Amino acid sequence: MAAALVVGWLLCLPRDLFKGVSYSTVVESAEGELLGARIADDGQWRFPPCDTVPERFAAAIIQFEDRHFRWHPGVDPVALVRAAVDNARSGHVVSGGSTLTMQVIRLSRQKERNLWQKIIEAVQATRLELRYSKKHILSLYASHAPFGGNVVGLEAAAWRYFGRPAAELSWAEAATLAVLPNAPSSIHPGKNREELLQKRNRLLRRLLEHGDLSADDYAAALEEPLPGAPLPLPAWASHYVEGCPRGVRTVSTLQFPLQKAVEAVVNRRSDELVREGIADMAAIVMDNRTGNVVAYVGNASPGRERAGAAVDIARAPRSTGSILKPFLYAAALEDGTILPRTLLPDIPVNLGGFAPQNFDRQYYGAVAADEALARSLNVPAVFLLRQYGVPRFHALLKEAGLTTLTEAPEHYGLSLILGGAEGRLKEITAAYADMARTSGLSVWYTLEALKEVNRPDELDWRLIRSVRKAAWKTGTSYGFRDAWAVGMTPAYTIGVWAGNADGHGVPGLTGAHTAGPVLFDILNLLPYSEEWFSEPDRSFVANAPQDDNCHSERSEESIITAVCQDSGMLASPDCPKTEMLIPAAGLDSEPCPYHRTGEFVLPPAMEWYY
C-alpha cells in the first residue's frame, strides 16, 4: 500500500505543466530589445516563459505571497494554519494559505477552487519541488500569473503597465505588479487605485523591514505614481514581426539602433513621396559577412491610413526592371562570353516581336560592357542575354535564391533582363549580398562598374573625400510601377523599393530618383569605412600563353592577356593592344573582328549610331 502511494505520488505530476497554453509572438533585436509582439491565440498578452525572474520582483512576490518559499517543500504548514485561523475568525475565506508552488499547480490545472482541488495542489506541489529548482518554480509562476485584464505573466505586465522590460522595473513598480496576481480582476491599475496604492505601500514597508531595500529607496518608491491605462507595446519592424513564428520568442538579427534609424529614413522619405502619388516603400540592410538581415522595413509608416499599408513589400513579388543586370554581366565575364570592356551592340533590333529600347530612347551604336552596365542600357543587356542564353541565366537566378521564377525560361524570354520576371526585395538584396562577399575577378569588375553609376545628387562624388563608396544599381519596371535601388559596400548591402502596393504606376517613379536617395540616406547611417573591395592579387596570375594550342592546359582562375584598346575584346594582330587581367575563361572569347589593315571598322548599323 505504501509502495503504491509512493508510486502514485511520483507519477502525479504531468510532464508538461502548461501544455496547450498559447503564448504571444515576441520578437527581440540582436541586443535583446523588444521589437514587437502579437497577442496570443486566446486573446491574452502572455509572453513565452522566461527562465529568469528579476531580483526586485522575486523579493516582492516572495514577501507578499510566500515568505517561506525558499525553505518549504511545496506546502507551508505555518501558512495553512494561519489561513485556517483567519478564515474561521472572519466567517469566510480571506486567506488561502497557498504557496507559490501550489499556485503554479493551480495555474497549470485551471480547475474549480475548492477543498479537494486544494489537496491535489498540495500533493502535486511537493512533487513539483522535487522535480524543479526554486528558481525555475518562481519563473513558472512569474510567466503564468494573471496581472489584470488580458495581461498574463510578468514580462507582458511590465511592458503593458510600465513600457519597459521587467528587468528594468523600479522597486515601486515591482511591488505594484507583485500585489496584482492576488486579485487581478479587482485591483487592475485602472481601477480601485487607493486600495492598490495601500497594498503596494504595505509591501514596500515589508521589504524595508526585511532588508531588501534601503530607507532612501523606500522613501523614493513611496513617491512613485501608480500606472495608468495599459500602454501599447513597441512596434518596430512590424512586418518582420508579423512574419516570425507564432507563439514563440524570436531573437532576431536586427540591430535595434539601426532599425530605428532606417525606419525613420523610410518614413520621412515616404511622407515626401506620398504627395507625388507614391505611397509605399520598403528597405532592407544585410551584413555581408554573416548574411544576416540587420534592418528590415517591410513598408513605410504601417500605421498611416492607406490601402496597402499592411503589405510586406520586402516579401512581395514585384517586377524587377533592370535590377538583375549585374548578375548577367558577372556571369558572362566568368564564363568568357565577354571581357570587361567588350563592345556590345546598342542599335534598334526586333527579336521575334521583342524590340527593346533604352530608357532615354536613344541608341549609341556600340558600348563597352562595363559602361553599358553602369548606364543601365537595355539594348546591350538584351544582346548579351541572347549571347549568354536565357535558360542559363534563368538557372543562375534560381540558384542565387530567386524563388519567384516559377515558369520555364521560354516564358520569360529575353525580357527576363528588363523586368519580364518578378523578384522579392528580400531575395534580391540577399543575392547582391552574396555577390559582395564572393571573391573573384568577374565579381570585382562588376563592382567596379557599379561604383561608376551616377548618384541621385548628380555631383561627382569622387571629388568629395567624405562621401562613401558604394557599388549600386537601380531598376525601374515597365509603366513606372516599381523603383529599385540596391547598393553594396564590403560590409553591407542595402536594398530599397518604392512604388504602390496595388501596382499602379506614377510618371517619374524611377529607381535613380525615388529609391536611390533613400539608399544613400541609409548608407550614411552605417559605420564609415574607407575599405573597398580588393582587386585580385596579380602576383599569383600567369601571363596568357602565346601558343593557342596551350589554352586547354591552363588552370589559373585569372590571367593577364592582350586586349584591343578599342573593342575590349581579345586582341587580333592588327589591334592596338593593352594588357588586362581577365578571368581565364575569357581566353576562349571572340577575338576582335573590327580591325582590318589597321582601321577600326564597326558593322554599318553599329557605326551609324556610334
CATH says 2-223 is which class?
mainly alpha
Q: Which of 65, 121, 263, 334 is catalytic?
A: 65
149 vs 186: CA distance, rounded Å: 10
Instruction: Identify the pLDDT of residue 121.
Output: 83
H-run or E-run covering 386? helix 378-388
65 counts as catalytic: yes
For position 17, what pLDDT does the model report?
A: 84
Same fold, 2-223 and 313-523: no
Task: Please list, in sequence order, all residues whose beta carbon lies within 8 angstroms of the beta carbon of residue 46, skipping any fewer than 6 positions away.
Answer: 21, 22, 23, 24, 40, 144, 152, 153, 156
Rounded average pLDDT over 196-208:
96
Residue 548: band (very low, low, confident or very high) from pLDDT cuts 50, 70, 90: very low
How high is the pLDDT of residue 552? 33
Task: Tell me: pLDDT of 555 over 80.
Answer: no
Highest averaged pLDDT of the listed ranges 31-35, 439-443, 454-458: 31-35
Question: b/e map of 139-171 (b: 16 or more CB within 10 Å)?
Answer: bbbbbbbbbbbbbbbbbbbbbbbbeebbeebeb
Contact (CB, 8 A) for 563 and 580: yes
Pairing of strands 249-251, 25-28: parallel
Model pLDDT for residues 31-49, shown as the tens digit of each residue:
999 999 999 999 999 999 9
Q: How confident is the model over 583-607, as pLDDT tens digits?
A: 999 999 999 999 987 789 999 999 9
pLDDT for the residue 87: 54
Q: Which of these ranges, 41-55, 351-365, 542-556, has the smallest mean pLDDT?
A: 542-556
pLDDT > 90: what percent of the chain? 74
Q: Is the pLDDT of residue 11 over 70?
A: no
Sign of the alpha-carbon torsion through 252, 256, 258, 263: positive
Q: Minimum mean pLDDT among 11-25, 208-222, 241-255, 492-506: which range?
A: 11-25
Per-residue pLDDT at 549: 36
pLDDT at residue 507, as a whole number: 92
Question: 310 pLDDT band (50/70/90 cuts)?
Answer: confident
Average pLDDT over residues 527-548: 70
276 is catalytic: no
Each domain of the chain, given as residue ranges in start order, spans 2-223, 313-523, 538-609
pLDDT in tens, 18-27: 888 999 999 9
Q: Domain 313-523 is of which CATH architecture?
A: 3-Layer(aba) Sandwich (3.40)
The pLDDT value given to residue 123 = 86
pLDDT of residue 551 exceeding 60, the answer is no
**Tens-place pLDDT, residues 243-292:** 999 999 999 999 999 999 999 999 999 999 999 999 999 999 999 999 99
- Record the cell numbers describing residue 131, joined without a space: 522535480
Q: Which residue blocks in 324-377 are alpha helix, DSSP H?
A: 325-334, 369-374
Amino acid of residue 331: A
pLDDT digits (tens, 9 = 90+) for 99-136: 999 999 999 887 666 677 778 888 888 989 988 999 99
Between 73-87, 104-118, 397-411, 495-509, the lowest mean confidence (pLDDT) is in 73-87
Are 418 and 356 in contact by the 8 Å Cβ rule? The answer is: yes
* 452: confidence class by pLDDT, cuts 50, 70, 90: confident
Residue 75 CB neighbour total at 10 angstroms: 18
Q: What does the alpha-carbon distance between residue 565 and residue 225 come to, in Å, rounded to a whole number?
A: 79
Check 24, 29, 270, 322 and give the catalytic one: 322
